[in-house]
Structure 1
Amino acid sequence: MKIGYFLSCEEYGPAELIYQAKAAEAAGFESLWISDHFHPWTDAQGNSPFVWSVIGAISQVTSLPITTAVTCPTIRIHPAIIAQAAATSALLTEGKFILGLGSGEALNEHITGSRWPDTKVRLEMLEESIEVMRELWTGEFVDHHGPHYTVENARLYTLPDAPPPVYVSGFGPRASRLAGRVADGFVTVAPDEDSIKVFRDAGGEGKPVHGGLKACWGPDKSACVSIARESWPNESLEGEMVQTLSSPKHFEQAGSLVTDEMTAESVACGPDLDTHIAAFKPFADAGFDVMHVQQIGARHQECDIDGFFEFYRDTVLPRVRELS
């Protein structure tokens, strides 16, 4: 199992993300995930830089593969524009860009005033958007008149030698089946063996499975738990509310129900090596190919980002790679 680093556009500004990307490569991480949000989940996270600008900058300071985790190409931004952004990113990364896609959250997608569809419709839109993007990556003029999208007489002139791989995020059987049928890989943040089986049975056999988790490293576990709960209460939230709540304020209200005990169960907190190794083990057991870990609270003195990278370089990465 390979280990990458998860860049959080919800918690860090562009300069901080670029610094973390360089530090991750120096520490021995093998790839990068980067989130694509218009809003942070909560005001405490406090950021939401435009991911495509950040990817361009990161591509010039590291050689690591970069995956969006994940982009929603259905409402906020038309898939033709995402196709152009992904093609340019693939060129800048010399073919090491992966377009991770998902059906999105109301938190980010409602901002244009468009209706927030139900899950079935969102997955239909996602599948059609992938069709549109792959048509455009051929370099031919495209006319597309589908149930959700129109593209008229459009051609992408700046293209990589090969189109970027498309990975699809899945949190249930319908999305997992869609990923197996149309995607080049699978993205999920839960070690759910059932979802992976659905993905593989639907056509994903032999395709990569990528996952992500969060950590809050620091010398004082109780301080780390408190910072993780205040910064990322949404990490302990489950169910459809994650897709349907429409503002950071709503997530803060839901997050007020999250306790320190819940946070300690969902986030690897503190300096104990075994705690961090244990967070990866369910993913290794479920057969994940690549895992990405995000450091929460790096702007807090208690959660120094350089200390995190040193800890993972010297102790965690060698042990985690032994799990698979």
Structure 2
Amino acid sequence: MTRFGYTLMTEQSGPKQLVEYAARAESAGFDFEVCSDHYSPWLASQGHAPYAWSVLGAVAHATSTVDLVTYVTCPTIRYHPAVVAQKAATMQILADGRFTLGLGTGENLNEHVVGEGWPSVDARQDMFVEAVQIIRELHTGELVTWKGEYFDVESARVWDLPDTPIPIGIAMSGSKSVEKFGPLADSLIAVSPDADLLTQWSHVHSGAYGFEAGGRSIGQIPICWDRDTGAATARARDQFRWFAGGWAVNAELPTPASFDAATQFVRESDVAENIPCGPDLDRIVEAVRPYHEAGFDDVALIQIGGDSQEAFLAEAAVPLLAALRSAFG
């Protein structure tokens, strides 16, 4: 049965608001919540970028049933993998076993801020593999010393480990990344309904780290619910047109200003063709259908617009979840 999640989008809401929305999303009946981990918003009009790990710690105490996922953290430049290993272990304890560490190779937008440059795609992928290996080693609770090509770890140990192991989800977007990252992951994370990607993932994934072979697949889709279709479309264009470049471009742009410039000619009609905008819940259900048909286990919804969350959670979330579960339960 497909599970449905709510996205805590740090780019569009402040930290206290995100914790409030997390609690309300749980009450509305969402199965899990994913949290973006950004240093900058995609566009200045979004206006926020609180520290995801502080938010998630508070969310763990404000909720009790929803699973929590970083969607996603880059463990290679802005964060050293040894620090990510410690943060994830602490989160799993705070969340009483509800946490999944979602990881990805990152974007220039968030990683360039520490002044270490932005490597080529191949280097980023090699760095990522080494980082995940280090995190896995540290999650054994053993003392770890690591001299690698990209990272060094000197006599490190994660002292507070949870009773429940920490599953790792990895963002993958093509055949090469599945081959390279699949054996390291407990779950696949993707933002497009690619059935071939899931088929390859099921063949590559081995369950080698003690979790169920085959893993879970977690997808994500933006929506822009509003009683007024015009307002929804305008808001989606203002705050979510950054998607238009695709990940090959999005990974390289360094600032919100560069995303603004790169997408200035995206029209409201272009956005409306790709994102369900307005009050029609059936249209949202149909937008989710390709993920269900591709075989995704979990689908997280992004409700676009920080100022639209209260109305969405109060008016649309419960009937939308009922419609989704009726269609795909």
TM-score per shorter chain, which class? over 0.9
- Secondary structure of the equivalent of 2:218? strand
1:206 equivalent in structure 2: 214
Structure 2 residues not aligned, in runs of 5+: 207-212
Aligned Cα root-mean-square deviation (Å)? 1.3
Deviations 1:162-202 (A, max 9, x none): 33100100112221223321100000110011222222222
Q: What is the CA–CA distance in structure 2 between the aligned matches of 1:239 and 1:214, rounded to whole Å?
A: 15
Q: What is the CA–CA distance in structure 1 between the aligned matches of 2:179 and 2:124, rounded to whole Å?
A: 14
Tell me whether 177-186 or 88-97 shows the greater mean CA deviation: 177-186
- Secondary structure of the equivalent of 2:161? coil
CA contact (8 A) 1:295 1:308 kept: no
Q: What is the CA–CA distance in structure 1 between the aligned matches of 2:40 and 2:247, rounded to whole Å?
A: 20
1:146 to 148, 155, 171: 148
Given the superposition, is the C-alpha separation of residues 318 and 69 from structure 1 closer, same or farther in structure 2, using an over 3 Å criterion? same
Structure 1 residues not aligned, in runs of 5+: none
The letter of the residue matching 1:140 is E
1:272 to 257, 262, 280: 280
CA contact (8 A) 2:28 2:318 kept: yes
1:238 to 219, 236, 246: 246
CA contact (8 A) 1:213 1:291 kept: yes
- After TM superposition, the score normalised by the length of structure 2 is 0.94
Deviations 1:186-229 (A, max 9, x none): 00110011222222222266210001111111111111000111
1:18 equivalent in structure 2: 19
CA contact (8 A) 2:25 2:313 kept: no
CA contact (8 A) 2:129 2:181 kept: no
- Secondary structure of the equivalent of 1:244? coil
How far is the alpha carbon of 1:319 from its aligned partner?
2.1
CA contact (8 A) 2:24 2:313 kept: no
Q: What is the CA–CA distance in structure 2 between the aligned matches of 1:281 and 1:309, rounded to whole Å?
A: 24
CA contact (8 A) 1:295 1:305 kept: no
Once the two structures are superposed, the pairs formed by residues 74-153 of structure 1 within 5 Å of their partners are 74-153=76-155
Q: What is the CA–CA distance in structure 1 between the aligned matches of 2:312 and 2:119, rounded to whole Å?
A: 43
CA contact (8 A) 1:214 1:295 kept: yes
CA contact (8 A) 2:12 2:306 kept: no
How far is the alpha carbon of 1:266 from its aligned partner?
2.0
Given the superposition, is the C-alpha separation of residues 197 and 27 from structure 1 closer, same or farther in structure 2, using an over 3 Å criterion? same
The letter of the residue matching 1:254 is A
Once the two structures are superposed, the pairs formed by residues 306-317 of structure 1 within 5 Å of their partners are 306-314=311-319, 316-317=320-321
The letter of the residue matching 2:23 is K
The letter of the residue matching 1:318 is A
1:318 to 304, 316, 322: 322
Given the superposition, is the C-alpha separation of residues 223 and 47 from structure 1 closer, same or farther in structure 2, using an over 3 Å criterion? same
Q: What is the CA–CA distance in structure 2 between the aligned matches of 1:202 and 1:288, rounded to whole Å?
A: 16
Aligned residues: 320
Q: What is the CA–CA distance in structure 2 between the aligned matches of 1:103 and 1:6, rounded to whole Å?
A: 20
1:163 equivalent in structure 2: 165
How far is the alpha carbon of 1:298 from its aligned partner?
3.6
Given the superposition, is the C-alpha separation of residues 66 and 282 from structure 1 closer, same or farther in structure 2, using an over 3 Å criterion? same
The letter of the residue matching 2:321 is L
The letter of the residue matching 2:110 is N
How far is the alpha carbon of 1:311 from its aligned partner?
1.4
Q: What is the CA–CA distance in structure 1 between the aligned matches of 2:226 and 2:250, rounded to whole Å?
A: 28
The letter of the residue matching 2:85 is A
Deviations 1:142-170 (A, max 9, x none): 10001111000111111101331001001
Identity of aligned residues (%): 38
Once the two structures are superposed, the pairs formed by residues 54-73 of structure 1 within 5 Å of their partners are 54-63=55-64, 64-73=66-75
